[in-house]
């Protein structure tokens, strides 16, 4: 087996860096770390005759940091291990089979630092914070919004009336709930028409720009069809459930360049972010969402039913809104975002 431990290795600017928390299963942390490195790159469960020095020299990752007290490791990967602009492939490597290995009791991907080559292979948000504020005409204060309730059951006109009341009551934004798509009692196209009609009425009465975020979550082709319909009706925003739809769907929507602000809902994230010892952190999810192209993203709230810790919510907000992230703890890797616009952090719950 190749040796993946190299504590003298100095990560290159071209490397993709991952930080993991791990708990070994009847083995040392060094051996467990090696298993993570090999399985997420060029290795497999046994020695193979087709492995050669060229592959090992050019593509073998290095475990360059091990903290035995905190069970934290850092791995530097050659960027050539990953297809540029292909997040499913990247995650199939660094967040794939490694979670099911017998050498580990627990494994959690805490953070990722993407190199310039990978950063620039994605479009990132089409509008970003400044673009969103320009659309709405609000430069400084927080944007305020609400979700239509009950989340399911209202017909199209009832839904539109609730939105109208929210807008004329002073709110900037109204959005669909994450599980409202096109139901028997509330069809997508009719809901969009009725709600945008009431948006126009509210704008005329208040003299303010009002935003409606219709949920276009659906099979990918249907998602695009619905997004184009929103655009044709004069909509400015769409919402998508990024976890249940998947990263490729978010990228498809972003690459369509429809001129719509993309609001990302994170329904389902806690299935792999909530366990502090296993899975993937919300910080990683947020960074990926920004990289692919979410203009806005739910990051949780310090209080309420969908809470996160104060430090977690703050760190996520900073990482998706700033252009340069400086290393400040064992759980925050440095990140330069280059051409990628910031994602507007949304606190809710």
Please tell me which residue in 159, 263, 265, 298 is annotated as part of the active site.
Answer: 265
CA 179/CA 241 separation, integer angstroms: 9
| Catalytic-residue membership of 201 | no
Q: By the 8 A CB rule, do 174 and 166 touch? A: yes
For residue 17, what are the β-bridge partners? 76, 113
Q: What is the DSSP string of 234-245?
A: T--EEEEEHHHH
What's the number of CA atoms in the CB half-sphere (13 Å) around residue 77? Answer: 28
Q: By the 8 A CB rule, do 259 and 233 touch? A: no
| Catalytic-residue membership of 326 | no
Q: What is the DSSP string of 189-229?
A: HHHHHHHHHHHHHHHHHHSS--EEE-B--SSHHHHHHHHHH
CA 56/CA 53 separation, integer angstroms: 5
* Alpha-helix runs per DSSP H in 60-155: 87-94, 116-119, 128-136
Please tell me which residue in 68, 70, 134, 149 is annotated as part of the active site.
Answer: 149
Q: Residue 46 — φ and ψ, nearest 5°?
A: -145, 170
Q: What angle do CA 157, 159, 165 make, to 5 degrees?
A: 100
Residues annotated as catalytic are: 149, 265
């Amino acid at each position: 087996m190749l040796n993946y431990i190299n504590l003298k290795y100095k990560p290159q600017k071209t490397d993709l860096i991952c930080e993991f928390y791990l708990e070994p299963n009847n083995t040392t942390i060094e051996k467990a770390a090696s298993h993570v490195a090999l399985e997420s790159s060029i290795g497999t469960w046994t020695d193979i005759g087709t492995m050669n020095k060229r592959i090992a020299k050019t593509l073998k990752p290095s475990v360059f940091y091990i903290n035995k007290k905190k069970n934290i490791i850092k791995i530097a990967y050659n960027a050539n291990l990953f297809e540029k602009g292909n997040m499913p492939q990247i995650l199939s490597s660094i967040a794939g089979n490694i979670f099911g290995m017998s050498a580990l009791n627990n494994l959690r991907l805490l953070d990722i630092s993407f190199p310039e080559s990978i950063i620039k292979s994605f479009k990132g948000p089409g509008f970003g914070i400044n673009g969103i504020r320009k659309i709405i005409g609000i430069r400084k204060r927080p944007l305020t919004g609400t979700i239509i309730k009950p989340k399911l059951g209202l017909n199209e006109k009832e839904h539109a009336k609730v939105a109208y009341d929210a807008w004329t009551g002073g709110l900037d934004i109204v959005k669909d709930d994450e599980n409202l798509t096109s139901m028997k009692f509330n069809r997508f196209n009719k809901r969009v028409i009725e709600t945008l009609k009431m948006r126009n009425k509210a704008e005329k009465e208040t003299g303010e720009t009002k935003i409606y975020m219709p949920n276009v979550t659906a099979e990918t082709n249907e998602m695009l069809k619905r997004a184009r319909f929103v655009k044709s009706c004069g909509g400015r925003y769409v919402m998508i459930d990024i976890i249940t739809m998947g990263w490729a769907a978010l990228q498809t929507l972003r690459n369509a360049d429809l001129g719509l602000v993309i609001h990302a809902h994170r329904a389902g994230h806690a299935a792999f972010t909530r366990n502090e010892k296993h899975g993937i952190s919300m910080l990683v999810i947020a960074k990926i969402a920004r990289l692919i192209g979410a203009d806005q993203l739910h990051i949780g709230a310090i209080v309420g039913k969908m809470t996160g810790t104060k430090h977690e919510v703050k760190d996520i907000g900073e990482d998706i809104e700033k252009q340069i992230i400086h290393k400040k703890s064992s759980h925050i890797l440095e990140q330069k975002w280059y051409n990628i616009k910031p994602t507007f952090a949304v606190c809710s719950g």
